[in-house]
Amino acid sequence: MNTNRRQFSRIAFHAHAELTTGHGQFDVVVLDLSLKGGLIRMPLGHKILKGENCALRVSLGDLDASIRMQGTVAHVEGLYLGLACRNLDLDSATHLRRLVELNLGDPSLLERELSALVAEE
């Protein structure tokens, strides 16, 4: 039986981004984001391992607005990497919160997710 343990809603968000690891910097595609991480697609020919530390920078197109996330590779499935967020700066957290809020459409869902996020820390 497959149970979904996910506490945080994933927001479909197709955007180009930069992923930095110990192996270098890569142009990647973000497929979704949540308050706790994201799913990205790597370019062909690059291998990233589960457990590696990384930094993701997603440009939002408004002036210099971006989401900068420090994280760890939580899982790898072919070209797809699941990133677990370890740290967000205040501006990035504000942008991500707004993105989630706009996509959830229900303020009570956002408040529930923010409460769960705070409870984890």
Distance between CA 60 and CA 21 in Å, rounded? 21
CATH number at residue 39: 2.40.10.220
- Determine, yes or no, domain membership for 6: no
Tens of pLDDT, residue by residue over 48-83, are 999 999 999 998 876 678 999 999 999 999 999 999
Specify if 20 maps to a domain.
yes
Residue 28 pLDDT > 80 = yes
Per the structure, the complete domain to which residue 45 belongs is given by: 11-120
Contact between 12 and 104 under an 8 Å Cβ cutoff? The reply is: no
Number of domains forming the structure of the chain: 1
Residues 6+ apart with CB under 8 A from 32: 10, 11, 12, 13, 38, 39
Residue 1 domain-assigned?
Answer: no
> Regarding predicted confidence, which is higher, 6 or 8?
8
User: In one letter, which amino acid is 49?
Assistant: L
Q: Is residue 2 part of a domain?
A: no
Question: What's the chain's average pLDDT?
Answer: 82
Q: How far is CA 59 from the centre of its chain?
A: 13
pTM summary value? 0.78
Answer whether residue 19 is part of any domain: yes
pLDDT band at 25 (very low <50, low <70, confident <90, very high): very high
Amino acid 109: pLDDT = 58
